[in-house]
Structure 1
Amino acid sequence: MGKKHTLCPGNLLEMDYTLNLNETKSIYKEVDNVLKNHDIFPKEHPWRLEFYGILGRYTLINEQFNGARKYQDDIIQLTAKLYGDNSPVFGKAVIRQASIILQYANDTDLADSIYTHVFDAWVKGHFHPKSPFYINTMYDYARLNEYQDDLRTSKQVYEELQRIIASKYKETDINFGIALNRLASSQLNVGDYSQAEKNIDQALDVLKRYKGEDDVLQYASALSTEAKLYAIKGMYDDASGSFRRARRMEGRAVGGALTTSQDRQAQLVDLYLTMGEYGDAQAIVDKQTSEVKEKIGEDSRLLIRPYAQAAKLKLANGDYTQAEQLAEVSIRLAKNVFGENSSWAALGYEVQRQLYLALGDYGRSATAARRQVEITQRVYGNKHVKLAHALADFGLVEFYRSQNEPLVDSLLIQAKEIVQASLGQNNPQYADMLKRLAVFYIAVKRYPEAKTALDQSMAIWSDKLGKRNVNVAELYALYGDLCYAQRQYKESEINYGKAEKLFEKFFSDRHPEYVKVVSKLSKVHYMQGDKKQAKTNIDEALENYKLFVRDFFPALSEQQKTAFWALIRPDFEYYNTLAMNLQTDYPEMIENVYNNALLTKGLLLNSSIKMRQRILSSQDSALIAQYQEWVRKKDFMAKLISLSAEKQAELDIKPAQLNDQIDALEKKLSQGSELFKQAHENTLPQWQDIQKDPERRRSGCGNAALPPL
């Protein structure tokens, strides 16, 4: 071997701390080969521990996480043989494994077990509280508690660490700054915003003086904490600036980018979602998802938040099918690692609540919203702004579902008061509470209160982001609703027009919110006597509804199809009324009425018929088996109707759970059958087609009739 001198243990260990990444890479394979040669180093030689440590650090720097864990496993096994599994050296090795698990692995329960048992048994008994190993272990333990939703314990650990470090280091020392930053981040999590602001200001003042590579990463972390605080306070430009500085610093540092920046990337995506900068948010989510899949795997817990955020982006752009699928993946990963009642699972429930509300499936939306409230209350307590949002979400869904005005009123007021107490009355989160109150007030005809809430909300959003953002677009649409309800049609037209332009700017002319506003504009023009413009607007709206039916309907369950049709049916009925009034000037509208009837008559039934035909003719045994299982479950559900609730409980039958299983199967079948005929027909039925086809004329689809006017 020409490089014997580099493999002398002392030389190599020294090089481990002095070589840069590329130089270390050049000896990695050689070291690995030497370790495999038992003539040079016997299996139980103590020097192997040092070499395993070097290789473990190398793999971590290169984000080869499975390799890092393998080398740490080797260290644990060899340490047990050399020193015994009751030695402090063994305990230290096991603690190191828990630290690696925290960085990327899914088995956080193992890490919890290690910290619970090993820390008390070995670390406390053999290491001084001021030792670096003790301090770093405590940091990891605090982080673990955050992951497991025990925010109070996490904050207590950070507070203890801050006291330890304050007694050991000067207030200008980098370790003091690190401790303050981590404590501030924990304080933000529990809603202690004023104290967090003091600590982060002091931490930044300390950390900015240090210029080493690792020091820069610590400063970047503090900048991200500052950005999170700015976002909570509604200082979005400042938040964006701090996040961008932090990302640039992390990009210049060597190694660890995937794990050290996960939280910061997620916070930046949340900020972009609030600001309506969906393109920037999508770019970050796509990059994160790709990196985690490549370096760790498709079932990594690090994908829980990116998938939930990707679902929000799809939902924002009106792609309901993709939004639902991504939310389900996020929930599945969260359940596997943290459980179905974790704050991680709640990320997906939030998307489901929004999605099902948009589809008109108020029962499922309320279920998701209720789970959000229960989880948020348990994790964050009764006075946290996160609970306020969960309560407000649940309140609006419950209003649509049950029309329980007193309950909804109390929930929305409670949510507003929580935000006001925590953040004051000039905060975008307070503006969001006012907007939801306005929705409710308009619906129950409390118009003066709605106007006051909208005015206050508009003033806040305009001050924070100007008058050209997606939040203001929603407010303009609500102003339009308020004016229309009071027959102030000209003012309604102006506000709907502003909302229309902004929705088209941020989304597209096919987005559901844009289509809703265009439909409302049609009614406003009709009430003002501008029937031509009314026709133009409703033609555009219905054309988009038809495209949605063509593109997304087959992937929905039967229940979702029914719910969504109930939402859009009034616009089709309005078109029929308009056609009767305008048939002299626009005779083609009568033809469209019949075409619409053809479409909507088969809307629920025909999609299921096509699905069944494609499945049974597909020769896909797995798909056919799924279909047969669906039929069996549907039959069983029908039989349950005759059983009392007591009998169902006695037989341990849960109809709601069975209904969810049927719903999930329907979606799989709809999506699976698409494989055999790309995205279903690209054309919508026309009355001329029925007239030319005797067979179709004799079928039910040819018997469409106009609804009574």
Structure 2
Amino acid sequence: MRLLTWIIIGLLGTLAAHAQETRTDAVADSLDAQARLCSQHNDHEEAVRLSLEAVKTRAAAEGTHTMSYATSVNRLSKYLSYTGKQKEAIDRGAEALGIIDALAGKWNAAYAQALSDEAGYYSRAGQYQEALRLGMEALDIRDSILGKEHPDYAQSLNNVARYHSYLGDYMEAVRIGRKAMELKELLLGKDNADYAQSVSNMAGYLSRLGNYEEAIRLGQEALSIRERTLGKEHPDYAQSLNNLAKHHYFTGDYNTAIQLERQALAIREKVDGRMHPDYATALSNLADFYQKTGNIDEAMRCGTEAMNIRKTVLGEQHPDYAESLANLASYHYACGHLDEAVSLEQQALLLQQQLLGEEHPAYAQSLCKMATYYSANGQWEEAEQYAFQATDQYTKFILNTFAELTSQERDLFWMKVKPWFTNTILRLTEQSPTDKMLSSAYNGTLLAKGLLLKSELEMVNMLMESGDTTAVKAYRQLQADRLLLLRVCETPKKQRTHNVDSLRRLITKEERRLVRRSATYGSYTQPLRVEWQSIAKAMKPDDVAIEFVYYRTAADSGRYAALVISRQSAHPEFVVLMDDKQLADIPSKSFYTSPRLSQLLWQPLEPYLKKARRVFFAPSGELYNIAIESLPFWEGEEGLVMSDKWSLYRLSSTREIVLAEQRHRQGPLTASVFGGMNYDTKTIAVEGKEKYEHQQGQKGAAKYLPATKREAMEIGGNLTAHDLPVLLQVGDSASERSFKSLSGHSPRIVHIATHGFYWTDSEVKEEAMDERLQFLSMYGNMDDADKALTRSGLLFTGANHALRGDLRQKRGDDGILTAKEISLLDLRGVDLLVLSACQTGLGKVTGDGVFGLQRGFKKAGAQALLMSLWKVDDTATRLLMSQFYEYLMQGKDKHEALRLAQLDLRNMEVETGGKKGRRAFSARARRAQKSNVKKLYQDPYYWAAFILLDGVD
């Protein structure tokens, strides 16, 4: 009986304990539920309090080694993180991870979630490397247990992309982030807050790469989704406002940026309070926007408050605090407080070095600022150290990023980062021409000039020479699709059979695959890095290399200068030449008759030219469109020009001196010669309009050029007489199709004698309503570079049908060959391409060169180009070209052959009392026209128009 009594008492005790445990679980569950509800309503402080009660309740009831306890601890860590208490969140998260690992191991969903959360806490604490490590571990676990088509796997992709972005690896962020975005769209649909998160993140990555238009589009999409799914008082909606404000800021739309950021700031204050990292971020952004609008006082106030919040909440060892220091430095610099600017930026630089590493773009930006501030403060030695490091770090960052970008992405990214190379370093060098500053300026210029063109050519060459037939086929398909896009853009919208946006997406996808494939053959960006010492070493003792540069000195003015080196140089020299206003004050008609321009451009360089025989120069700015090698010598005998004193080689960049040593042209020496086009002959397809009302003299049609037939025949005969295989295309056979047939197996020499055209932006706008101007691609959907390439070109047989507006057939081989069409050809075997036509050297001047025919042929792979800068005389051109080829066949190099041919034309004596027709440039030549002086072509008008680009043998 006593035993039974004890058994009953024991059972009753057990039941009571179980009931108590159940009640405890219910209390803890209720506390957790209340905390979750508070967090959903953005009351994170109350969520922390309730969650902490839940954790204590479970610990008291069941101990600290149960899954339910671990779950409560993990929730608590999240709420702590939401309140900005990252260190406590990390500690609690680590506790939860340890318990789950001990009870269930690592390969389960609970551990993966806790690991993913822990990565987030480290990220908010500014420890991005650790965040990436944990995020990758969580991704691997989810891949293994859930598979790649699960929302949690997509979220891990999203997180990993974000950590890469924080570390400055923007291309990896884009690559992984795009996967996350596409997967979420597939699994969750577009009207989903998690999808909006990935869209918003992608907008941020693209913005960092300079693609602001797409960033704004995606940012607006994310904002709209979050407004529908979360409401306007949610932190994520505020985050979208914040991001969208930054995208607008980068485009220069400061008022919109301020308006959006103010909205974000108000939400942050209401939801998170003022002592929160996200409130500080909004405040910091607003300060930047105020600075750009000139409201420095407000920028200083907001920036200081943001810094103090970050210092209190995040601590001084956080990248955001470093950012605040750097921002405040720029505000002080704007106010003229140079010592304060230097001090703050120095602190920011040291933190970025410690926290982010020297490869991070933020570190390079701080180096640039340090150089600027020290220079402004007159501390030249300090400035040069930072400028040299900045150029080096920025160059590495650019080339590494370029390696994974498509051509359009490279354009946008370069626009974002190029100011250091094309402006800032040049201004600093003018102020402080120390050895390292001079080296930085020259090396930066070598990188910047023609970077976009050279990078594209290097990638194409790597693909085409890889021996990978699949890659070659894919590249040819890419070029075919680009041509299709061109045709669609030329067509009025109502008549289009293809969607432009779909074609663009297809082309981008194809090119991206090729870029990734090219990485298996090596880095195509490495040859882009050439330093001035390599150039000096490649030159002869009596050579001089000059990089002309143009840089802004104010919003509406700029300056020309020259960077000069020789084989003996210990460092480059920097010579200020003239302001752009001084150039504008010289009438263009007097460039070649008055020494004014030579006195500004060449005479200051005399000390460096005294012992030189060959001078290699790369123009800049408006110098691209001036034959500066044929300017009158600044003093002495009338008629003496610069090329009489020195052998002047015009180059795209002086890096061509080095590349010429490495270049080996393949295949036998062959030639193709085009001339005497019958512009009225019908061709395969016709449409367009003629622009020659003021250029060629016949409205609606191109005038036949009889001298071009004779020129082609003479040149063809000369080349044949020297046993050179020649394909001669004259009259009807000189068609656009016959020229395009050279693509892929081009001869070493190509000569084209015909009409050329070049339209300026203003001229295009004047004719914008004319339907016949389709070959100028006026129907939109093209970027500025492509538009410039469609506004210059050459005329072949049958062009007049298109020029008169016969729109009966589709665009094709209609006799109008634009630079854009040329750029899609493969002319990599062409060593010399001669454009014996009007204005073939003109185009839109950009920081990357001249966008016109020369750009088209260069993109196609042609090496040396002989072009004209103005409307040329037919007979003089024929004589010049015949002599040029005669010297070429005698074994002269391209440059010397042109120099001698021009000299022969200048000195040619003609039995006549003067040539009727065009009035000569110079007074001396005009006197000759009225007398029996036989040197009919001595005026620069007849011979100086032709320039040879990259003719280094």
For the residue of structure 1 that corresponds to 2:519, the secondary structure is helix
* Letter of the structure 1 residue corresponding to residue 516 of structure 2: Q
Equivalent pair of 1:353/1:369 in contact (CA under 8 Å):
yes
For the residue of structure 2 that corresponds to 1:556, the secondary structure is coil
Alignment of 1:304 onto 2:154 = yes
Which of 634, 642, 646 is matched with 2:482 structurally? Answer: 634
Equivalent pair of 1:365/1:397 in contact (CA under 8 Å):
yes
Question: CA distance change for structure 1 residues 444 and 253 in 2, over 3 Å: closer, same or farther?
Answer: same
**Aligned-residue identity in percent:** 19
Question: CA distance change for structure 1 residues 207 and 664 in 2, over 3 Å: closer, same or farther?
Answer: same
Alignment of 1:669 onto 2:518 = no
Alignment of 1:468 onto 2:313 = no
Q: Deviations over 1:343-371 (max 9, x none)?
A: 33334333322222222221122123222
Question: Over aligned residues, Cα RMSD in angstroms?
Answer: 3.2
Question: CA distance change for structure 1 residues 282 and 589 in 2, over 3 Å: closer, same or farther?
Answer: closer
For the residue of structure 2 that corresponds to 1:208, the secondary structure is helix
Q: Deviations over 1:442-490 (max 9, x none)?
A: 1112122212212222222211232221111010010011111112111
What does residue range 263-282 of structure 1 map to in structure 2 within 5 Å? 263-282=113-132
For the residue of structure 2 that corresponds to 1:685, the secondary structure is coil
Alignment of 1:335 onto 2:185 = yes
Q: Which residue of 2 aligns with 1:609?
A: 457
Q: Which residue of 2 aligns with 1:141?
A: none
The offset of 1:640, in angstroms, is: 3.5
Q: Deviations over 1:378-397 (max 9, x none)?
A: 22111111111110110121
Counterpart CA distance in 1 for 2:293 and 2:316 is: 28
Question: CA distance change for structure 1 residues 417 and 193 in 2, over 3 Å: closer, same or farther?
Answer: same
Q: Which residue of 2 aligns with 1:530?
A: 379
Q: Which residue of 1 aligns with 2:57?
A: 206
Counterpart CA distance in 1 for 2:323 and 2:501 is: 34
Alignment of 1:563 onto 2:412 = yes
Q: Deviations over 1:402-442 (max 9, x none)?
A: 5150x322211111111111122222221122111112111
User: Which deviates more from structure 2 when the two are superposed, residues 347-356 or residues 373-382?
Assistant: 347-356
What does residue range 387-402 of structure 1 map to in structure 2 within 5 Å? 387-401=237-251
Which of 135, 143, 153 is matched with 1:293 structurally? Answer: 143
Alignment of 1:450 onto 2:450 = no
The offset of 1:194, in angstroms, is: 6.2
What does residue range 588-607 of structure 1 map to in structure 2 within 5 Å? 590=438, 593-607=441-455
What does residue range 276-675 of structure 1 map to in structure 2 within 5 Å? 276-401=126-251, 403=253, 405=255, 407-572=256-421, 573-583=423-433, 585-586=434-435, 590=438, 593-644=441-492, 651=497, 653=499, 655-675=500-520
More helix by share: 1
Q: Deviations over 1:131-171 (max 9, x none)?
A: xxxxxxxxxxxxxxxxxxxxxxxxxxxxxxxxxxxxx9998
Q: Which residue of 2 aligns with 1:76?
A: none
TM-score, normalised to structure 2's length?
0.52
Equivalent pair of 1:550/1:682 in contact (CA under 8 Å):
no
For the residue of structure 2 that corresponds to 1:209, the secondary structure is helix
For the residue of structure 1 that corresponds to 2:60, the secondary structure is coil
* Letter of the structure 1 residue corresponding to residue 391 of structure 2: L
What does residue range 8-27 of structure 1 map to in structure 2 within 5 Å? none
Which of 1, 21, 28 is matched with 1:177 structurally? Answer: 28
Counterpart CA distance in 2 for 1:478 and 1:189 is: 34
Q: Deviations over 1:206-231 (max 9, x none)?
A: 32234379x82111111122221111
The offset of 1:523, in angstroms, is: 0.8
What does residue range 13-412 of structure 1 map to in structure 2 within 5 Å? 172-182=23-33, 184-185=35-36, 187-193=38-44, 196-197=47-48, 199-211=50-62, 216-254=66-104, 258-401=108-251, 403=253, 405=255, 407-412=256-261
Question: CA distance change for structure 1 residues 333 and 324 in 2, over 3 Å: closer, same or farther?
Answer: same
User: Which deviates more from structure 2 when the two are superposed, residues 558-567 or residues 434-443?
Assistant: 558-567
Structure 2 spans left out of the alignment, 5+ residues: 1-18, 541-615, 619-648, 657-844, 849-953
The offset of 1:520, in angstroms, is: 0.8
The offset of 1:567, in angstroms, is: 2.5
Number of corresponding residues = 534
Equivalent pair of 1:169/1:175 in contact (CA under 8 Å):
no
Question: CA distance change for structure 1 residues 404 and 201 in 2, over 3 Å: closer, same or farther?
Answer: same
* Letter of the structure 2 residue corresponding to residue 388 of structure 1: A
The offset of 1:609, in angstroms, is: 1.0
Equivalent pair of 2:24/2:61 in contact (CA under 8 Å):
no
The offset of 1:257, in angstroms, is: 5.2
* Letter of the structure 2 residue corresponding to residue 268 of structure 1: E
Q: Deviations over 1:314-343 (max 9, x none)?
A: 222222222221212222322232234433
Equivalent pair of 2:108/2:145 in contact (CA under 8 Å):
no
* Letter of the structure 1 residue corresponding to residue 512 of structure 2: K
The offset of 1:645, in angstroms, is: 5.1
Counterpart CA distance in 1 for 2:327 and 2:290 is: 11
Equivalent pair of 2:164/2:170 in contact (CA under 8 Å):
yes
TM-score, normalised to structure 1's length?
0.69
Counterpart CA distance in 1 for 2:125 and 2:71 is: 22
Counterpart CA distance in 1 for 2:407 and 2:150 is: 32
Question: CA distance change for structure 1 residues 197 and 331 in 2, over 3 Å: closer, same or farther?
Answer: same
Question: CA distance change for structure 1 residues 172 and 679 in 2, over 3 Å: closer, same or farther?
Answer: farther
Counterpart CA distance in 2 for 1:434 and 1:454 is: 7
Question: CA distance change for structure 1 residues 451 and 379 in 2, over 3 Å: closer, same or farther?
Answer: same
User: Which deviates more from structure 2 when the two are superposed, residues 448-457 or residues 492-501?
Assistant: 448-457
The offset of 1:579, in angstroms, is: 3.2
Question: CA distance change for structure 1 residues 647 and 533 in 2, over 3 Å: closer, same or farther?
Answer: farther
For the residue of structure 2 that corresponds to 1:276, the secondary structure is coil
Question: CA distance change for structure 1 residues 464 and 582 in 2, over 3 Å: closer, same or farther?
Answer: closer
Question: CA distance change for structure 1 residues 184 and 257 in 2, over 3 Å: closer, same or farther?
Answer: farther
Structure 1 spans left out of the alignment, 5+ residues: 1-167
Counterpart CA distance in 1 for 2:259 and 2:427 is: 39
* Letter of the structure 1 residue corresponding to residue 117 of structure 2: Q
Question: CA distance change for structure 1 residues 582 and 233 in 2, over 3 Å: closer, same or farther?
Answer: closer
Question: CA distance change for structure 1 residues 196 and 386 in 2, over 3 Å: closer, same or farther?
Answer: same
User: Which deviates more from structure 2 when the two are superposed, residues 659-668 or residues 180-189?
Assistant: 180-189
Counterpart CA distance in 2 for 1:399 and 1:645 is: 32
The offset of 1:551, in angstroms, is: 2.1
More strand by share: 2
* Letter of the structure 2 residue corresponding to residue 429 of structure 1: D
For the residue of structure 2 that corresponds to 1:604, the secondary structure is helix
Counterpart CA distance in 2 for 1:301 and 1:707 is: 45
Q: Which residue of 2 aligns with 1:128?
A: none
The offset of 1:400, in angstroms, is: 1.9
* Letter of the structure 2 residue corresponding to residue 260 of structure 1: A
* Letter of the structure 2 residue corresponding to residue 322 of structure 1: E
Counterpart CA distance in 2 for 1:410 and 1:549 is: 33
* Letter of the structure 1 residue corresponding to residue 521 of structure 2: F
Counterpart CA distance in 1 for 2:332 and 2:241 is: 28
Question: CA distance change for structure 1 residues 527 and 676 in 2, over 3 Å: closer, same or farther?
Answer: same
